[in-house]
Chains A and B, each alone.
Chain A
Amino acid sequence: MNIQTTTPKQQVDAEVLIVGTGFSGLGLAVILEREGNRDYLMLERGQDVGGTWRDNHYPGAGCDVFSHLYSYSFRPNPNWSRTYSKQPEILKYLQDTAEDEGIYPKVRFGTTVTRAEWIEAEDLWQVETTTGTYRARALVSATGHLSDLAMPDIEGLDSFTGKMMHSSQWDHDYDYTGKRVGIIGTGASSIQIAPEIAPDVSHLTVFQRTAPYIVPRRDAPYSEAQKGMFARFPEMLQDFRKELFWGNESRFPQRLQIPAFLAQIEEMSRGHLEDQVADPALREKLTPPYSVGCKRILISNDYYPAIQRENVTLETTGIDRIDETGVVLTDGTHVALDMLILATGFEATELPIAEVIHGKTGRLSDQWQDGGQAYACTTVHGYPNFFMMLGPNTGLGAGSMIYMVETQIEYIRGALQYLFEGDKVIEPDREAQAAYVKSIHDRAERTVWIAGGCQSWYLHPRSGKLTAIWPDYMSQFRKENGTFATKGYMVRDATVPA
């Protein structure tokens, strides 16, 4: 055996640590696993893979993007049961992926990352977790943009003595049958939950602050013939996927507020409301007060009908506070409840993982006081060999997040190959990052999210900047951020050979 006396090999647990096993982390792992060149480990605070789809199992939970598009292009599934699959089927898809691709043995479950620090002297990331310390040359954060829930800031929230749950922490042991139930929020989760539980509860009150735009849901089961065709002609499935992709891509001009595109979507949502709601007063309440597309456009065929059930009330009077037994409205009315559902979304603008990541220039969340910033939407100056999936400016108004995820997978795969084949340390140049981020914010100016005049979770609360959304076509994201190149990076040799 060749004993090295001068520079002892530093102990690392893996070349790469990936934090998170949702669509992002798992997808990256599959590609690295198939490639077979990288030594990686995954850290996951939950007890299984799936992320979003492990946590969001509320009644009616499902995706809002066609399943054939909302899945990996490199793991097509000819057997999706319907246009928009429900949570159990999506979770199963991710679990099967992890199983078939041999990912499970690489994951340390029940392991929450509490601090990750770049050790410059050793050129490695040291990651503290609830189950111990891990060291690696490169760190990938795949912790999700919608994985940490947001609680509403309402006085007395904690005083409620009935059953209270956030949509992403559904307690299936609680039986809501015959109960008086309230739901706060009218976003994507709420409009899936309300129609599902309405028939069983004694009364449902939907507390609405701002009405969403809703368009028809084109949802149907796939026939056995279609599934068989997709299985036997994989290219038919890929063609279908492309059809869906370009359909979404052609919705982006709505966000540029191009009149012909706006007219189409406005007509579609108005037509849907008029088809489903006859009462003019209720229509009025359900008509959004902002430009279409400024907040997420929702798709549902059963929400408006649910709202019109005998046992459902759409409450548009504001909430003043919550007390032991229910909700007190700003007009003083008390709504007595047995159960309160908080469908109030997630921390999308200030990603909690940034609190625990420490690079050369300190804590990432301190760098990101005015909102997240990253070069190529993936790497950060001051944070060598660090990659972030679904970080700043990667969200979409219309489209599948998997397209963004796959774009980043290819970028990170290329970067890791470069790092490990040449023993390099890389970080984006400060100026290159600033210029890139500026180009994003310049583009954002012409979009509805900035120009449309509404507050949304897409905007950073302090700076007002659009940090959650990619303000251009998805194809443009892939063109700019889909292939790693050293341009814009400071590159040096690793001082300690890996």
Chain B
Amino acid sequence: MAFTSDVVDGEITHDGLTIRTYDSAPHRRGEDTIVLLHGTSGSAQSTYWALFPMLADGRRVVAFDFVDTDGATADTYADQARAVIAALCDGPVHLTGCSFGAVIAAHLAGTTPEIVKSLTLIAGWIKTDIHQHLRYDVWFKLHEEKSAAMPGFMVMTAFSHAFLTMRLPGEVDALVAKIGDGSDRYAKMVFNRTVDITDAVANITAPTLVIGCTQDQMVPIYHSKLLFGAIENARFAEVPSGHAVAHERPSHLLMLIRDFIDEPERDAPGTVHAPIHA
């Protein structure tokens, strides 16, 4: 499904790879643009089906699908993002990444600061730790065994207790049915085991918003707090959701991102956002 009826799908070639791109408003190319880097699940659509069109209501948004290559590193993935930005955007961009995409965004911002106007890191991390390794071990085991337990395991670890218990049983079944067997994310899972962007993160200077998720079982909020600790020019906001925050609370992310991008330096570095009161 198209993000919105106005979105223009395109392709660019980079290093012999064809990268699919999505541009909400090519005619507004000269304006500030939000560039979205998707998560482990494989496509811009699967991470940003909600957030892309929501952000595009008012701003120009560009996204693309990462292409997996053998032995991919943070830098080779970041190169794809740089190529898309060079091809579709004129000035520095508002770079937003979620999960795996946050890792790549942070790496990119630390290594090519000149193309980043602001940086939003949602449920990202700096270096894979032993807790994550345990989950990856289970995941790879289920994958090897082609286990029927895989979809349920992925749903259980991706969504928060609060979110799942608000659904009807049939709706949770539908989530499990839809998430697939995980093969679409195999290559990125291999990469995720090896993440260490410590050096790049130390060089991030762009105004940054770090968003961590209270009930994240895949990348516990500890990691977002570490990012906040590592990036001098960062603000921090917490969203009470699971790792699949882009599905659980797209409107909450929208408010945080819109507000931040409007004036990235409004809140002083080190600001921890007060919880939003309902």
Indicate whether A and B interact: yes
Interface of B: prevailing SS: loop
The answer to whether A473 and B251 have CB atoms under 8 Å apart is: yes
Q: A256-B57, A473-B251, A475-B255 are in contact. Are A242 and B276 (CB under 8 A)?
A: yes
| A73 interface residue per 8 A CB criterion | yes
25 contacts between A and B (CB under 8 A): A73-B277, A216-B168, A241-B278, A242-B240, A243-B166, A244-B278, A245-B278, A246-B249, A246-B278, A249-B252, A250-B50, A250-B250, A252-B251, A256-B53, A256-B57, A258-B4, A258-B53, A258-B54, A258-B57, A259-B5, A260-B49, A260-B50, A473-B255, A475-B276, A479-B259
A-B pairs with the 10 shortest C-beta distances? A245-B278, A249-B251, A258-B53, A250-B251, A242-B278, A260-B49, A475-B255, A246-B249, A246-B252, A243-B162
Report how far A261 CA is from B1 CA in the complex, Å.
11
Please pick, from A73, A239, A260, the residue contacting B162 in the complex, using a CB distance under 8 A: A239
- Give, as a whole number of angstroms, the nearest-CB distance from A66 to chain B: 10
Report how far A252 CA is from B277 CA in the complex, Å.
18
The answer to whether B240 and A239 have CB atoms under 8 Å apart is: yes
The answer to whether B54 and A253 have CB atoms under 8 Å apart is: yes
Which residue from chain A places its CB closest to the CB of B277 in the assembled complex? A73
Chain B residues positioned under 8 Å from A242 (CB to CB):
240, 275-276, 278
- Give, as a whole number of angstroms, the nearest-CB distance from B192 to chain A: 26
- Give, as a whole number of angstroms, the nearest-CB distance from B145 to chain A: 33
Which residue from chain B places its CB closest to the CB of A68 in the assembled complex? B278
Chain A residues positioned under 8 Å from B50 (CB to CB):
250, 253, 260-261
Chain A residues positioned under 8 Å from B255 (CB to CB):
473, 475-476
Chain A residues positioned under 8 Å from B277 (CB to CB):
73
Interface mask (B30-66 → A, CB under 8 Å = 1, otherwise 0): 0000000000000000000110011001000000000
Report how far A446 CA is from B57 CA in the complex, Å.
9
Chain A residues positioned under 8 Å from B53 (CB to CB):
253, 256, 258-261
Q: A216-B168, A253-B54, A473-B255 are in contact. Are A259 and B162 (CB under 8 A)?
A: no
Give the interface size class of chain B: 20 to 34
- Give, as a whole number of angstroms, the nearest-CB distance from B101 to chain A: 19
Chain A residues positioned under 8 Å from B251 (CB to CB):
246, 249-250, 252-253, 473, 475
| A485 interface residue per 8 A CB criterion | no
The answer to whether B2 and A259 have CB atoms under 8 Å apart is: yes
Report how far A476 CA is from B276 CA in the complex, Å.
12
| A9 interface residue per 8 A CB criterion | no
| A75 interface residue per 8 A CB criterion | no
Chain A residues positioned under 8 Å from B4 (CB to CB):
258-259
We find that the number of chain A residues with CB closer than 8 angstroms to chain B is 30
Report how far A239 CA is from B240 CA in the complex, Å.
8
Which residue from chain B places its CB closest to the CB of A475 in the assembled complex? B255
- Give, as a whole number of angstroms, the nearest-CB distance from B31 to chain A: 18
- Give, as a whole number of angstroms, the nearest-CB distance from A273 to chain B: 15
| A304 interface residue per 8 A CB criterion | no
8 A-B pairs besides A242-B276, A258-B53 with CB distance below 8 A are: A246-B278, A250-B50, A250-B249, A253-B251, A258-B3, A259-B4, A475-B251, A475-B276
Chain A residues positioned under 8 Å from B240 (CB to CB):
239, 242-243
| A307 interface residue per 8 A CB criterion | no
Interface mask (B200-226 → A, CB under 8 Å = 1, otherwise 0): 000000000000000000000000000
| B254 interface residue per 8 A CB criterion | yes
Please pick, from A247, A252, A263, the residue contacting B1 in the complex, using a CB distance under 8 A: A263
Report how far A155 CA is from B205 CA in the complex, Å.
72
Q: A242-B276, A253-B50, A260-B50 are in contact. Are A218 and B252 (CB under 8 A)?
A: no
Q: A216-B168, A249-B251, A250-B251 are in contact. Are A403 and B57 (CB under 8 A)?
A: no
The answer to whether B1 and A259 have CB atoms under 8 Å apart is: yes
Which residue from chain B places its CB closest to the CB of A244 in the assembled complex? B278
| A69 interface residue per 8 A CB criterion | yes
Chain B residues positioned under 8 Å from A218 (CB to CB):
166, 168
Which residue from chain B places its CB closest to the CB of A262 in the assembled complex? B1
Chain A residues positioned under 8 Å from B54 (CB to CB):
253, 258
Report how far A473 CA is from B255 CA in the complex, Å.
9
- Give, as a whole number of angstroms, the nearest-CB distance from A115 to chain B: 38
Report how far A23 CA is from B50 CA in the complex, Å.
33
Report how far A218 CA is from B171 CA in the complex, Å.
12
Which residue from chain B places its CB closest to the CB of A243 in the assembled complex? B162
